[in-house]
Each structure stands twice: as C-alpha cells, then as structure tokens.
Structure 1
Amino acid sequence: MERTMQNLPTAKEESLIPTSKVKKPIFGRLFWAFALLSLFIVIVNLLLVIYTFSDLFYMISTDEIVQKLTGNLIFLVLFIAIPCVFLSVSISSDIAKPIRQIGGSIRELVKGNLDVNIKTARRDEFGNLIGLFNGLVSRMKSVRFRDQELSKMKSKFITVASHQLRTPSSGVGWGLDLLLKESAGALNEEQKQIVRICQDRNLEMIGIVNDLMSVTQIEESDLYYEFQEVEIDTLLGKIINEFSMEAKMKNIGIQFENKVAEHFKIVADPNRLATVFGNIIENAIQYGDKNTTIEVAMHKEDNNILIQIINQGIGITEDDQERIFSKFFRGENALKLKPNGSGLGLYIARKIISEHKGKISFYGDKDGKTTFNIYLPIHQELIATKTKTEEFLEAI
C-alpha cells in the first residue's frame, strides 16, 4: 500500500501556469490596427477634400457641384467601408475561434470527458488562456486518477478487514449459542438476558460487515446477479414472515395487499430483491412507532410493478431527505434513536434496484409517515450478469 501511495501523482507535478509568456498581445494588435485604419481614413479624407475643392473652382452650375460632391462622397464611403468590413471580419474570426474551442472543451468537461486538449500556436492572451485551460484539465486528470487509486485501496482494505472480522464474529456467535443452550452449564435468567444482548450486538456487527462487503462488490462491479422468473408476491410474503416476530415484539403489525394478481412473475434476482425489501421493512420496524401497522402493497403501473412500503414513525427530516440514499449516511432522527448502524442499507438497495433497471424513491411528511416506492420492470431479458472475476476465469 505504501508503494502504491508513492506512485500516486501529487499536486506539484502539474502546473496551471503556461511556460510561454504573452509575446503578441491581441489588444495591442487591435490598437495598432484601428490606429492605422483611422490614419488611413484621415489621409483619404484630406486628399478627397483637396481634390474636390480644386475641381469646384472650374464648375459654374450648382448641379455640377452637387453631382461632384455626391460622387466623391460615395467613393469615400465605399473606400472606407471595404477595409473596415475586412478588418472587422478578420478580428472577429481571430477572437471567436479560441472562444469556440474553449466553449466546446468546457461542454465536454461538463459531460465528464477529460480527454480534451486544445492545440494552438498562439502567443497572445488567448494562447495564455488556452494554456491555463489545458493545465487545469491535466490537473483534473491527475486528481481523478488519484481518487480512483485511493478508492481501489479503500475497497481492498474494506474487503480484507471484513473477511478478518467475519471469522471471529461467527465464532463469537457460535459460542453465545452454546451458552444459551446451556451446553457449558445452567444460566439464570439475568445471565441469559446478557447473552441475548451480546448476541444482538454481534449480529449487528455481522450485518455491518456484510454491508461493507456488498458495497465493495457493488463499487467494483463484482456483485453477482442471477436473474430468473420470480413470484414477486410470494417473495414479499416470505420477507414479511421473516420479520413478523421482530415486529410483534414492538407491537407493530405488517399488512400485505396484492393489487395485481396471485403468483405474478417478473424477471429478477430473488436474493438481491430480498435484501432490498428486508432493509426497508427492517428500518420500518426499528424506526416505527409502537402500535402502528406497516403497509406493504403491490400495484401495477404501465409496464412496472410498484411495491409500496408505508410506515408511521420518527420520519425523515427535510434536510436529510436529499441524502437518504447516500453511502454511510444516517438521518438525524435515526442517529438519536439508534446510534449504531452502517448507513449502507438504502445505498445498497438503490444500487440493486438500478441493476434491475428499476427505480426507488420515497416520500416523507412532517407527521412521520414515510412511503418507499420501488418500481420494477415487468418485461426484462433473462440475463445472468457475470462478475469481473467470472468473466476473467471464463476467458482463461
């Protein structure tokens, strides 16, 4: 890891200041161009005036004088207008070209494309600006590369740490089970209660470790999906039954309403969807008010199945709502009620639903009522998504 850190580019390696100085300032060139044009106009005007007045002495009629003055005036306008137009087009083109180049490159940057480089031989202010822009893009590439390398290192650390934590946690869980079964001797009720508390904390830690592993796999595109035909109502019923005892201990009911059809099938990964539904229902129980009911409903909207999970509880503050699906984020109300937690459940849920070409959203009101909407497409090809590891092994 230390060797990798040494290879990362530093901010000093890239300079935003171009090495070449401004040798031909564009505004100086503009000044001299307009100065010469003005001098040219003055000289032509003086020559024309001298020529006109010299002819007027030989003209007797007024018509001849007017005709002569009109002709000279038209000649003067045309003689001045042509170089003015030529100079204006030349100057506007000279200024507009680098502006268009920089504008087009900025649009590419907005799209996330950093493979932009403006080539120019100019040595004026625009050349200096383009040099600054190219230096900025180079720095952005360096920062992106550094972030990617740090992200890889972080993922590797999380993977190793999670594996190292999972083994002793499993051993602790096994030992606590033996204690509850009184395999090592009889326990009084107070001792059993202490063991149960230890079991709950150990399960929480295992859950956090599993979440960390899932996030690492998601970010490395190494999370396997096995798409198949799934009876979505049956899957929801199974998840509800798994959490029914936990809900009952808190005097919370769970009501399921199927508004589509019995045994309705969609193409999905049942294990990944079970994770999504389980995370949301578990949150509804943990942060829900006692003596309330969690409403789970299944609807059909156009070409999607909509699963709604509604509960009444602590709610989500308005400031937290925009960040509720962010990684490691936990709402203010959730932290007050339950300080422990990974803040990864909803982040993982959104990523899984996204891989199913679906959408997840929520709505919370000021009274603590929270509604999660999960949209899943009805028609989807049966594709078994392979991880990068499996693709590599198949290639070998």
Structure 2
Amino acid sequence: MERYYFFMASPKKQTQSIAKTQAVLAATSQEIPAAAPVVPTPVAPPEKGQSLQEPFSRPEDSPHVPVHQYSGFEFSKIPWGQSLFAKLFGAFLALALLPTIISAVLITAAYQVLLNQYVPEREVEILTSNMQVQFFLIVFFIIILVTFISFVISRGISRPIKLLIMAVQKISDGDLSVHIKINRKDELGNLAHFFNTMVDKLKEIQERNIEISKIKSQFVSVAAHQLRTPLSAVKWTLRLLLDGDVGKMSKEQDDFLERGYQTNERMINLVNDLLDVSRIEEGRFGYNFQEVEIANIIRKAIAEVSIVAAKRNIKINFRQLIPEDLRIVADPERVRTIVINLLDNAVNYSEPGDEVVVTVGEEGDSLKVSIEDNGIGIPDSEFDKVFSRFYRASNAVRLQTDGSGLGLFIVQNIVNRHGGRIWFESKEGQGTSFFFTIPMRREFIKESL
C-alpha cells in the first residue's frame, strides 16, 4: 500500500540551508550576523478519538518523531459527487461492469437456447434455476472485485493530488516548512519531487531575503543614530543664529538661515522616522499606556500642525463629538504621532485655501477619528501599497512634495498595537479621508504586535 506524508524540514537540514544562504550573502557583504537554526512550529497531537486526516512525519533523519495530524488546512470542500475520486471511481466501475453485465445476459440467453434444444423439457426448469444461481454468484463476485480494483486505482490517483492541494494551500499561507513524500515512481511521484524542490528553493530565497532585510535594518539603524547627533547640533546652532544670540543678522541672512533650518528639520524628521521603523521591525517600539483625555491630546497635535497649515493658507477644522473629559487607555505620545502624521499628509497634499476636517467621535466601544481633505487623492491602482514602507503616491511624487513614505507605515503599526484599525477612502483629484479607531477599554489593547 502506498503511503503519503507531510513533513517539516528537520533542524539539521534547515541549518544547512541557512549556511548556504549565508555563503551567498557573504559574496555581497563582508560581515553577516549568524542566523540561528529555524525551529519548526510544533504541531499538537490530535485529541482523543480524533481521526488522522493525513499522515505527518519528519524526514528520514528524524525517525523517532511520532506521527501527528498536520493541522491548519482550510481548503474549500468539494462535494463527493463532484470530486475527482468519485468521477474516476464511477468511470472505472462503469467501464468494468457494463461489459460484464452484457456478457452475462448474452451467455444466459445462449445457454437457454441450448437447453431448450437438447435437454428434455422436464429437466429444463431445474437446469435453468441452477444456471441462474451460478450466474448470479459469478456476477456478484465480479462486481465486488471490480469495485475494489476501481476504488484502489481511483484512490491511488486522487489522494496524492489532494495532498498536493493541501500543501499548496499551506504554502500560500506563508508556511514553507511543509514537504510531501509520495512513495511512487510515476508522474505523480515526479511531481511531488519537483514540488519539494520548488519549496526548498523558495525557502532559500525567503531566508536570504530575511537576512538581507536584517542587514538593511541594521544599516538604517546605525546610520540614523550616527546622523541624528550632528543634525541636532546643526539645528541648535542655526537656532542660536536665528534668535540673534551670537549677533544681529540682516534680513537676507535670516532668510538663508531659516531655509537651512527647515531643511535640517526635515532631515531630523526623516532620521526619526527611520529609527521608528527600525524599532518597529525589531519589536523595540516602546509604549506607555495610561488613562488620558484624548480630546486634549488631539487638540494639541492639531495646534502643532496648524502653524504649517496657516503658512499655506489651509484651515484645519476640528469637530469634537465626544465629552471634553472622556478618558481612554492609550499612549499619548503615539496617539499624537498618529494625528500629526495624518494631518501632515492632509496639509501637504492640499491646495492653498482648502480645508482639512478632523472629526472625533465614538463608534461602539471605540474612539473613531477621521481626517478629511480635498487634496490630490490616491490613484485607485495604488490602494494596496498605501501602508507600505517608503510608499509615496505617484501623483505626490510628480508634485515634488516632501515626504519619506514612512509615516503611514508607522501610523498603521501604532493603531494595530492599540487594538484598533485604520482605513481610508480616496478619489484621485478629489481628496482623501483617513479613519482610525482606538478601543476605549484596556482589555482590547494587544499585548504585542
């Protein structure tokens, strides 16, 4: 009997795979941090009385690992009558039984003619009865044999295909630790072999991308830290000059220094965004949850952005639909970051004379905040990229506006950490509305990202 298996790659093979990946990376980087072996996610054994759907094991170098159910598949169930097994089974059964039944009918008829011609009439009835019993038994055993053979053949074809479907479903969910072992030497066996080869290649690529991503994150973190100190020094030096602490400047000199100060400020904001993204990816983006008066925090954030908005002749309208003393559990500094980032985008991508509307209200057990503008909007084809790192809408890039493309990525992570959700509505050329919610009860806050 053929056996089919799912199995996870062993720690030994995974370590070998990572070693290969590091060898490849060594060609492009002089120093790569050693990667720890990837430990396969353990699969819980089935509960008592639960049947095993498919055998599951590890490869040959781990023969002592017990067989468990490989759980987690959620593929759509096909009605039995429409399944490949049922179709094959029905076809084989029909092709085998139809000739058998026709042959039985013809032989019976011919035998009856011979009896009528050569056997005395008084014995015909007895012989006919015996003949019918014998033919019934023969046909009955033929049907059983044909049914069994059809079942075995159909199952041998359909079960490996079903196994491949389940494995592909698992891989589509992002799990590249699944392998298939089919002990056969036909086309299905070859398909399983090349499927496993494909999974190994994908896993090597994934591991390489993870290592490269780690190297990039480390580089960004180190570079940002090294840049922040001199940029801060330049900022305060320029501030001293602008404030006249080292002597009076002419108006022309003040204008040059102000432009330099604003450029330096944008660089500092970019460095801070890069550091925030690095901390988010490393799980070091700290939070300080406490009870806060949320309306006051949002009002202060609006006041900060209003200075820039006033210079561009853009009005920010604040609609407060909650009590002034409403308190929720949140990190005040992170909530301020959310509002400032969303308001900055709304102001930067609006035309002079436009209005930005900030609305704060309640939605069930959550606080709901919306920020609406009448700016350039977001192209429909780019909706799925909005919360990606370094994403900037193509129409925003054409306008040559300032921005790093990191703000919405940071905002989404902060909202998710608070247990809320964020979404948007936009029409290119007509404006964008961003919405986010934050639960007002502590128990809804996520423990970690």
> CA–CA distance in 1 between the matches of 2:225 and 2:435?
34
Aligned residue among 32, 38, 47 for 1:4: 32
Select which of 131, 136, 143 maps to 2:205.
143
Query: Is it true that 1:314 corresponds to 2:406 in the alignment?
Result: no
- Is 2:263 the partner of 1:201? yes
Match of 2:118? 58
Deviation (angstroms), 1:102: 1.9
Alpha-carbon distance between aligned partners in 1 of 2:222 and 2:116, rounded to the nearest angstrom: 102
Range 66-75 or range 162-171, more displaced: 66-75
Give the Cα separation in 2 of the matches to 1:81 and 1:131. Answer: 36
Structure 2: runs of 5 or more not aligned: 1-28, 37-94
Return the offset for 1:119.
Answer: 2.9
Q: Please report how far the alpha carbon of residue 194 of structure 1 lies from its aligned counterpart in structure 2 after TM superposition.
A: 1.2
**CA–CA distance in 2 between the matches of 1:39 and 1:363?**
66
Contact 1:228 1:382 in 2 (8 A): no
Which residue of structure 1 aligns with residue 329 of structure 2? 267
In structure 1, how many angstroms separate the alpha carbons of the residues matched to 2:313 and 2:165?
61
SS at match of 1:2: coil
**1:36 shift after superposition:** 12
When residues 136 and 247 of structure 1 are mapped into structure 2, their CA distance, relative to the original with a 3 A threshold, is same
By how many angstroms is 1:99 displaced?
A: 2.2
By percentage of residues, which structure has more helix?
A: 1
CA contact (8 A) 1:267 1:381 kept: no
> What residue number does 2:216 align with?
154
Query: Where in structure 1 are there 5+ consecutive unaligned residues?
Result: 9-34, 388-396
Say which is worse superposed, 175-184 or 165-174, in terms of deviation.
175-184
Q: Cα offset for 1:287?
A: 1.6
CA distance in 1, matches of 2:374, 2:101: 83
Aligned residue for 2:146? 84
Other structure's SS at 2:174 match: coil
How far does the alpha carbon of each residue in 1:346-387 deviate from its partner, in whole angstroms, 9 at most, with x for none?
Answer: 111111101111011111235523211111111124989689
Q: Secondary structure of 1:226's match?
A: coil
Structure-2 separation of matches of 1:202 and 1:245: 18
- Residue in 1 aligned with 2:73? none
* Aligned counterparts of 2:126 and 2:281: Cα–Cα separation in 1: 89
Question: 243-252 or 224-233: which moved more?
Answer: 243-252
43-52 or 178-187, which moves further after superposition?
Answer: 43-52
- In 1: Cα distance, 2:248 partner to 2:376 partner: 40
**Structure 1 residue 245 corresponds to structure 2 residue 307:** yes
Give the structure 2 partner of residue 279 of structure 1.
Answer: 341
Deviates more, 1:250-259 or 1:301-310: 250-259
For residue 189 of structure 2, give the secondary structure of its aligned residue in structure 1. helix
Question: Partner of 2:227: helix, strand, or coil?
Answer: helix
Partner of 2:188: 126
Give the direction of change, closer, same or farther, for the CA distance of 1:215–1:102 in structure 2 (3 Å limit).
Answer: same
Q: Does 1:294 align with 2:322?
A: no
The yes-or-no answer on 1:304 pairing with 2:332 is no
Q: Please say which of residues 231-240 and 338-347 is displaced more in the overlay.
A: 338-347
The 3-state SS of whatever aligns with 1:260 is coil
- Structure 1 equivalent of residue 412 of structure 2: 350
SS in 1 for 2:118: coil
C-alpha separation in 2, matches of 1:63 and 1:49: 14
Distance apart, 1:115 and its partner CA: 2.4
How far apart in 2 are the matches of 1:111 and 1:336?
36
Name the CA distance, whole Å, in 1 between partners of 2:375 and 2:419: 30
Matching of residues 168-187 of structure 1 within 5 Å: 168-187=230-249
Q: For residue 58 of structure 1, what is the amino acid of its counterpart?
A: Y
Counterparts of 2:380 and 2:99 in 1: how far apart (Å)?
A: 68
Equivalent in the alignment of 1:188:
250
* Counterparts in 2 of 1:367 and 1:121: CA distance versus 1, 3 Å: closer
Task: Give the equivalent residue in structure 1 for 2:14.
Answer: none
Q: Distance in 2 between matches of 1:239 and 1:144?
A: 40
Secondary structure at 2:423 match in 1 = strand
Per-residue Cα deviation, 1:53-97 (whole angstroms, up to 9, x for no partner)? 765553244867875775565455334323211211121222233
Greater alpha carbon shift after TM alignment, 227-236 vs 330-339 = 330-339
State the Cα distance separating 1:43 from its structure 2 match.
11
Partner of residue 435, structure 2: 373
Equivalents in 2 of 1:67, 1:386: separation in Å?
81
Q: 1:215 to 1:189 in 2, by over 3 A?
A: same
* 1:94 aligned onto 2:122: no
Residue 434 of structure 2 aligns to a residue whose secondary structure is strand
- Aligned-residue offset at 1:108: 1.9
Residue 52 (structure 1) shift? 6.9
Shift of 1:279: 0.5
Q: What one-letter code is carried by the residue in structure 2 that aligns with 1:2?
A: Q
Matched, 1:105 2:167: yes
- Which moves more between the two structures, 295-304 or 91-100? 91-100
What is the TM-score with the length of structure 2 in the denominator?
A: 0.71
Measured in 2, the distance between the counterparts of 1:95 and 1:382 equals 49
Aligned to 1:228: 290
**Given that residues 52 and 72 in structure 1 are in contact (C-alpha distance below 8 angstroms), is that contact kept between their aligned partners in structure 2?**
no
Alignment size in residue pairs: 362
The residue that corresponds to 1:333 in the other structure is 395
SS, match of residue 180 in structure 2: coil
Residue identity (%)? 35
CA–CA distance in 2 between the matches of 1:326 and 1:318? 15
CA RMSD of aligned residues (A): 3.5
- Give the TM-score taking structure 1 as reference length: 0.80
Structure 2 counterpart of 1:100, one-letter code = K
Which of 64-73 and 100-109 deviates more?
64-73
Tell me: CA distance 1:362–1:219, structure 2 relative to 1, closer, same or farther (3 Å): same
TM-superposed CA distance for 1:311, in Å, is 1.7
Distance 1:199 1:156, change over 3 A: same
Q: Which range moves more in the overlay, 197-206 or 109-118? A: 109-118
Question: Structure 2: how far apart are the matches of 1:383 and 1:96?
Answer: 46
Q: CA deviation at 1:228?
A: 0.7
Q: d(CA) in 1 for partners of 2:359 and 2:307?
A: 20
